[in-house]
Amino acid sequence: MTSPRRDGDTWDLASSVGATATMAAMTRAIATRADDSLIADPFAEPLVRAVGVDLLTRLATGEQPPGDLVGQAAIDGAKVRTRFYDEFFLDAGLEQAVILASGLDSRAYRLPWPAGTVVYELDQPEVVEFKTRTLAALGAEPTAERRAVAADLRDDWPGALRAAGFDPARPTAWSAEGLLGYLPPEAQDRLLDTITELSAPGSRVATESRPNPRPGDEDRTKRSLNRISELFRSAEFDSDMAKLRYFGERNEAAPYLAGLGWAVTGRTVRELLAAHGLPPLEEDDLRMGDVLYVRGELTK
């Protein structure tokens, strides 16, 4: 059973919010197999396999076709999202990068980082330790100097980041991918404030900015998440996706970052799908098409 979110809750990669990281990696594994011209994440499949949730392994390995469980919109969404963050880091070209809520993201092992780059990956302890252990056992070598930081983003994560060697005097490329909806609204604001405080001029940030709900949107989103959770439950994977997110009004990330002094640009998922020649979304109860992928640069 999925427990409702509470302050200080924790998880591994098979439970609660941790399972969303495994599902994201499973979708990247499917997307990579379908067509690796946009994204190629060779570590997604072995990482999901190592987590050991039977259904997610079968989907990631292709033993079970995605069918209704992982629709084309989710697969195409994973392609444009992964590509967006890959390009963000490569375009930034900065030698200090921080991947917040890194989950099973393998960028520290697969992107051609500039020589001398240090990549900090921050997530809950069981999540970062699992990835470090699993990729080492697979013989994977990071393509940058990778430093894993075990911390909760609702706590003193800057202290943990500094203890790992992070230098706020150097410009940083930050990403917060697939994260903000899993934080309470005030924790999202605090996170963006803290990123800004830790950012030297020339720093960059990338994240998603979800539009605030119109009347009826949240009910539709919850119904849709419940439908997907039900499909997964009937395939013997128990997750209650609507319980993992925080709903309600919150500051939208793009204008909030702009208010903190970041020069912000963004493209919606709808625009990114079209730009990559992928089909438009048909049903969109989750308002995925309106999600804005945002880049910011600090020129202060």
Number of residues that bind ligand SAM (CB under 6 A): 20
Binding flags for ligand SAM, 167-206, as an x/- string (CB under 6 A): ----------xxx--x------------------------
What is the nearest approach in angstroms of ligand SAM to the Cβ of residue 299?
26
Looking at the Cβ atoms of 152 and 285, the one nearer to ligand SAM is 152
13 by Cβ neighbours in 10 Å (0-12 / 13-18 / 19+) ranks as: buried
Tokens 């804005």 belong to 292
> Near ligand SAM by CB under 6 A, which window of 13-21, 63-71, 251-259, 290-298?
13-21
We find the least distance from the C-beta atom of residue 106 to ligand SAM, in angstroms, to be 9
Q: Interface with ligand SAM by CB under 6 A: which range of 20-28, 55-63, 159-167, 222-230?
A: 20-28
Name the minimum Å distance from CB 56 to ligand SAM: 13
Q: Where are the beta strands (DSSP E) in 222-290?
A: 262-268
Measure the CA–CA gap between 75 and 29, rounded to whole angstroms. 9
User: Is residue 21 within the footprint of ligand SAM (CB under 6 A)?
Assistant: yes
57 in Cβ contact with 49 (< 8 Å): yes
For residue 97, what are its two tokens?
């990068």
Amino acid at 182: Y
Residue nearest ligand SAM (C-beta atom): 103
Q: What is the DSSP string of 1-47?
A: -PPPP-TT----TTSHHHHHHHHHHHHHHHHHHH-TTT---TTHHHH
What x-and-dash track marks residues 50-89 binding ligand SAM by CB under 6 A? ----------------------------------------
Footprint (CB under 6 A) of ligand SAM, residues 85-104: 101-104
Considering only the C-alpha atoms of the chain, give the largest distance between any 2 of them, rounded to a whole number of Å.
52
Structure tokens that stand for 238 in this block: 């128990």
CA distance 224 to 206: 27
Which is nearest to 116 in space by CA: 131, 137, 99, 95? Answer: 95
- Contacts with ligand SAM in 115-174 (CB under 6 A)? 123-124, 127, 152-154
**By the criterion CB under 6 A, which residues form the site for ligand SAM?**
17-18, 20-21, 24, 101-105, 123-124, 127, 152-154, 177-179, 182
